[in-house]
Structures are given as C-alpha cells and as structure tokens.
Amino acid sequence: MASRDEGGRKKSSIVTLKTKPFERSLALTRLGVGAGAKIMAHSLTNIFRGEISRDSANRDFYERQAQILADELGRLKGSVMKAGQMLSLYGQYFLPEEAVIVLSQLQDDTPPVAWKVVQPVLERNLGKTRLRELDIDTEAMAAASLGQVHRARRKSDGLELCVKIQYPGVADAIESDINTLSRLLIMTRLTPKGLNLGPVFNEVREMLYREVDYKSEADFTRRFAQRLAGDDRFVVPQVIDDYSTPQVLTTTYEANVSVRSPQVQKLGLARRNRLGEAFFELFCNEFFRWGMVQSDPHFGNYRFRIGERAEDDRIVLLDFGATRLFPRPFVSAYSDIVEGALRHDRAQVVRGAKAIGLMNEKMPDAALDAFVAMCEAIVEPFEPADSERADAKLRNANGAYRWGDSDLPMRMGRVAATNALSVHFRVPPREIVFLHRRLAGVFIMLATLRCELDAREPLLAALHDAHDGRAKSTAE
C-alpha cells in the first residue's frame, strides 16, 4: 500500500536524503540567508503574533516565508522536520500566526523516501536471514518525519505486520539539526528580539531523542496494551520482538479507517457519541489516573474500526513514541486548576497555577484574574446544563454539549494571544505545552465526530481519583 495524500493520490518518493550534518546545515543556512535578506528588504516592524494592524500584504509575505521554511524541512526530514513540528506548538506563544499555521502543516503528512534508502537500515538491524521470513511491501503505507511504515506478512503463518523503519542518520543529526534550526529562526527574524529560545530547544532536543528510541516506544506500546487489555473499546497493536530493534519497530497490523472517512462520519449520533465518550475517558485515564499521556493527537495515531453493531466499534491506538510521563504532584496541581475553574474558585486555580510554574508571586491581581477568567472559559463544555455560564446555543434539548458547533478553541486562541502580549507572560512549562496539545486533540476529535456529550461527570470522577490518591501514577 503506497503512501497517499488525502485525495488518495500516490505521493512521489524522495530518492535521496541529506544525512550528513554538514550538508543538512548547509541547506538550512542557505535558506536562512535568503529568507533573512528578503525579510530585511520587506522592512516590517509589526511581525509578532497578536498585532491586529497587520495588513494582508504582511500576512501573505510571512506565510510565503514560512512555507519556504516548511518545504525545506519536509525535504530534509529527520529531526529538523520533527523540530519544526514541535516549534508549531511552542510557536503559538512567540511566532507570527502565519508561521505557526504553516509549520503546523508539517504534522507528518510528508512523502515517503524510496525503498533503497531504508532497506539498508532494515538489513543492518534484522539481518538478511530474518528478513527472508517476511514479505515486505516496498512502497510505504505511511511516512513521517523520523521514519516510515511498510506493510509486511510473516510467511510462516500469514500474520499481517507493520514495519516502522527509522530514516538513516536521524539520531546522529539531532544535535546539528537543533543548532542549525535555532540559528535559522534568528536569520529569518521570525522570533521576537531578545527572546531566549534555549529552554524551548532543550525540550525539542529531549523529545527528539525520545522519539528515535524505538525500544522505548515498544515499551510504551506494551504498557498501553496492558492498561487497556480489559477494555474492548480499544485496540493496541502487539509488538513483535523478533523483528524489532532500536531502529526498527514491528507490530501487528490492525485494520482501521480515519475519523474523517465516510464509514465513521455516516454513523448515527448514538454510535459517534459512544466513540467520543471512549476517547474522552481514555484521556482522563491517561493523565489523571495513569500519569502517562500519548501527547501527539495527530489523527493518524487515533483510528477507528467500525463493526456491524455499536458494541463492535473500536478505537485503534497507534504510535506511542510521543508518550510523556507526568509526576503525581504535577497531575494534582493541574487538577486543582481544572477543579477550581469548574467551581469558580479563584484561590484554587491560582494555587494550582503557581504550583506548576504558570504563575508566580510577583504577578499582579489583574494578570491572575485574566488567567482565572481564561481557565473558567476553557471548561465551558463541562458546565452544568442549567448553569448561567452554559451557552444554550451549544446545548441540545437534553443539555448535552454540541462539540461540533463550538468555536471554543478559536476563542481561547484569541484570548491566549492577547494574554501573550502582557509583560507578565512567559512561555509555559514544557509539560503544559504537550498536555495542551493533547487536550486540543481531544476537543478536535469530539468536534470531528460531531458528538453531543455531557462530559462533566467523567471529568469530575477523574479529578476525584487524581486528588484521592487511589490512582497510581505510572511516573512514580
């Protein structure tokens, strides 16, 4: 099965990869010099996110610059492309809006590389004798920034497999790629002058090393499978150790379709709600009860298997390379923020925010009030249906929240952009960035399923367990 775009068209393969640090650095440096010169000639001053006065010409210019950057990152693949994805998350706090939008499109929707590029990796890791046990489709079924996946079949018993192969030179190029990309952002003048990006790139570096560790990903795959073994709403692939190494990860193939497929979208409301409930409960378990969160909400990682009856519908969970562990004190403090927002308890929200480093003692009351107001707005879907804060236009006749009709993420994005202009603002702790990425993914999934759900009780139950201490954190 070839890697294809959203329209089903086969993507052309990349025949060669720049794998040596010098040639990768040279390609990005040339890009940065050219972009920097163009930006200087353009002589803009209002380039930062949140400035309403930017005209359409300015927006078009920065979108073109960001697109050039994204295209080159996509061709280079590897850690520099993954770093571009990470920057689309952090960048919402300091990059021009146009750059964030374009970089966010790097989310693993890329052409595969030719078989001759990845075949040597497979042969070195598994050996030719072991490889002869498999029939492998030489056209990738999916391609990402750090590797690509090929369908395979074990000859001895016909078991259908997925073989994930890491691109050559990815791990070795991480340090060089990070250093070059940090210089590139300065050269393209896309970041505010004086902003210290050191902590951001340290987190990106750590995430990259985590995601090229296929042994760790295999371990998290097993741990999720164990956690969900008794829940037939979910499917987690089985890791096949005989064909897995630090650079190759082989699992069982699990049939699935996208949430956007007609097969899912044509389901009745009750079945879509059932899937949405399971998806929301999964997040509550991961964060509040387990402290182990798959932090990449890309739709390619959450697929569906539709059965004859609602009871046969399944959510297929894929790719656990971005799994993060959250320590129990962080989970407890964050639970304070959520519970405080639900109860409209300012003191509890502030206490939780200070405990995880979102706020500090030096912040004036006005800044704290703005943060509390934002938190209370974010929990809109979980307000009681009869609350004066509940928007009747977003509730059905039974009081359930209509996720598909809500523009809450956009409203909160505007609020966050305004708050980012405050002199008291700083880039949030890394745990918050990745947790909120997954939270946004939950909202988008429920909206795409067009769910009409009252998720207040499942959330309250998860908060209770988080505070009660009965739930054992995986991170401990």
pLDDT at residue 341, as a whole number: 94
Instruction: Spell out the SS3 assignment of the chain.
Output: CCCECCCCCECCCECCCCCCHHHHHHHHHHHHHHHHHHHHHHCCCCCCCCCCCCCHHHHHHHHHHHHHHHHHHHHHCHHHHHHHHHHHHHHHHCCCHHHHHHHHCCCCCCCCECHHHHHHHHHHHHCHHHHCCEEECCCCCEECCCEEEEEEEECCCCCEEEEEEECCCCHHHHHHHHHHHHHHHHHCCCCCCCCCCHHHHHHHHHHHHHHCCHHHHHHHHHHHHHHCCCCCCEECCCECHHHCECCEEEEECCCCECCCCHHHHCCCHHHHHHHHHHHHHHHHHHHHHHCEEECCCCHHHEEEECCCCHHHCEEEECCCCCEEECCHHHHHHHHHHHHHHHHCCHHHHHHHHHHCCCCCCCCCHHHHHHHHHHHHHHCHHHCCCCCCCCCHHHECCCCCEEHHHCCHHHHHHHHHHHHHCCCCCCCCCHHHHHHHHHHHHHHHHHHHCCCEECCHHHHHHHHHHHHHCCCCCCCC
Q: 114-166+213-254, what's its fold?
A: Phosphorylase Kinase; domain 1 (3.30.200)
pLDDT at residue 70, as a whole number: 62
pLDDT at residue 68, as a whole number: 63
- Helix axis angle for 269-284 and 456-468, nearest 10°, is 20
Measured in degrees and rounded to the nearest 5, phi and psi for residue 345 equal -105, 100
Q: Which of 194, 191, 206, 195 is nearest to 82 (CA)?
A: 206
> What CA–CA distance (Å, rounded) separates 320 from 430?
18
pLDDT at residue 416, as a whole number: 61
Measured in degrees and rounded to the nearest 5, phi and psi for residue 78 equal 65, -155
Beta pairing class for 302-305 and 314-317: antiparallel
**What are the b/e assignments for 119-132, b being 16+ CB within 10 Å?**
eebbeebbeeeebe
What residues does CATH 3.30.200.20 cover in the chain? 114-166+213-254
**Is-contact 187 32, C-beta < 8 A?**
yes
Q: Which residues of the chain have pLDDT under 70?
A: 1-110, 184-197, 199, 412-430, 433, 469-476
**Is-contact 177 83, C-beta < 8 A?**
yes
Q: What are the tens digits of pLDDT across the range 62-106?
A: 566 566 666 666 565 555 666 666 666 555 555 666 566 656 655
